[in-house]
């Protein structure tokens, strides 16, 4: 892992935060008309087709090794299929604001797990302080009133927490074991996840009544091309370069992107507490991603 991130890495990290920050709103809209299983299967199929096309255009191929297919399976299921489904299920009843707070557990779990697995990602008081700032910033950004529903639909909220845990475990796994090219891993993992979710959609009977309106199809296409295909490719590009701890902080930047998108694209106003929250989150990200002194 590099001690400092290159400008290109920073740009990609910000793009990933932007792509994921829009996905929660898109999912919230999508599950109003589509079964969560259909929504997830659809976005994964579209994402898989796009990534496979790029793979072929680059004259690359998926590995024939069973070991590499194990990596495709683990990262595809734990990093895409399962958390996508858990989040889509949870957002049927959980507001996107509360979902953003609950997803804040992802950086916390990732950092703690990474400190036990990697010698260069040890836990320090500065990192712990950064995590505290991050969770406080997310809560302040979406508004403390979002917490009023905490514990309401416990099953749905736990599903979002479980999705956050999946992301943490996947990031650790990818950095520890995956050595294949980013494009190949993105394509292989998404294809495996798409096949698994398509089988689940058929067996569960969720495909019986699919809404084919332009709005529903547009949500699925957007999630497939951008929040899945492009985001997965960037993810596999950055994890080996930035490490698990730095990568996990993208979950603190996601609500920042959502707030800025709302202000610039939807002309939504930013309240004073939201402006303050952006500063708190920037401090959190700085504390965790700042170059660390080596152990002696």
Is the pLDDT assigned to residue 159 strictly greater than 70? yes
Closest to 163 in 3D by CA, of 225, 94, 236? 94
Number of domains in the chain: 1
Report if residue 2 sits inside a domain: no
Looking at per-residue pLDDT, the higher value among 26 and 79 belongs to: 79
Q: Which two tokens stand for residue 285?
A: 């990200």
Residues in the chain: 296
Report if residue 38 sits inside a domain: yes
Give me the mean pLDDT over the 225-243 stretch: 93
Range(s) of the domain holding residue 82: 7-119+149-243
Report if residue 81 sits inside a domain: yes
> What does the pLDDT read at residue 118?
85
> What does the pLDDT read at residue 49?
98
Report if residue 268 sits inside a domain: no
Report if residue 257 sits inside a domain: no
Report if residue 206 sits inside a domain: yes
Q: According to DSSP H, which parts of 178-249 are helical?
A: 182-204, 214-222, 231-248
SS3 65: coil
Report if residue 263 sits inside a domain: no
> What does the pLDDT read at residue 295?
46
Give me the mean pLDDT over the 4-24 stretch: 84
pLDDT band at 294 (very low <50, low <70, confident <90, very high): very low
| pLDDT tens digits for range 137-157 | 777 776 666 566 666 678 888
Helix (H) or strand (E) holding 251: helix 250-264
Q: Which string of b and e fits 59-86 if b means at least 16 CB within 10 Å?
A: eeebeeeeebeebbbbbbbbbbbbbbbb
Closest to 260 in 3D by CA, of 284, 278, 286? 278
Report if residue 284 sits inside a domain: no
Q: How many CA atoms lie within 13 A of 148 on its CB side?
A: 5
């Amino acid at each position: 892992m590099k001690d400092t991130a290159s400008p290109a890495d920073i740009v990609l990290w910000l793009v990933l935060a932007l792509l994921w920050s829009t996905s929660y709103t898109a999912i919230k809209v999508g599950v109003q008309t589509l079964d969560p299983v259909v929504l997830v299967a659809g976005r994964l199929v579209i994402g898989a087709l796009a990534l496979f096309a790029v793979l072929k255009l680059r004259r690359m191929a998926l590995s024939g090794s069973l070991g590499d297919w194990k990596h495709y399976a683990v990262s595809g299921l734990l990093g895409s299929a399962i958390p996508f489904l858990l989040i889509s299920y949870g957002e049927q009843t959980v507001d996107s604001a509360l979902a953003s707070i609950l997803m804040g557990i992802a950086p916390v779990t990732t950092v703690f797990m990474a400190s036990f697995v990697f010698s260069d990602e040890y836990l320090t008081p500065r990192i712990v302080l950064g995590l505290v700032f991050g969770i406080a910033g997310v809560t302040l950004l979406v508004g403390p009133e979002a917490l009023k529903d905490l514990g309401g639909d416990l099953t749905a909220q736990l599903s979002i927490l479980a999705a956050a845990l999946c992301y943490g475990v996947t990031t650790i796994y990818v950095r520890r074991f995956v050595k294949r090219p980013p494009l190949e891993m993105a394509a292989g993992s998404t294809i495996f996840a798409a096949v698994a979710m398509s089988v689940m959609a058929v067996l569960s009977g969720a495909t019986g009544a699919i809404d084919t309106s332009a709005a529903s199809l547009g949500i699925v296409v957007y999630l497939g091309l951008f929040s899945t295909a492009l985001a997965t490719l960037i993810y596999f590009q950055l994890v080996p370069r930035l490490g698990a701890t730095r990568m996990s902080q993208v979950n603190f930047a996601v609500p920042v992107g959502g707030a800025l998108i709302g202000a610039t694209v939807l002309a939504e106003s930013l309240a004073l507490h939201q402006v303050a929250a952006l500063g708190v989150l920037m401090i959190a990200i700085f504390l965790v991603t700042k170059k660390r002194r080596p152990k002696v």
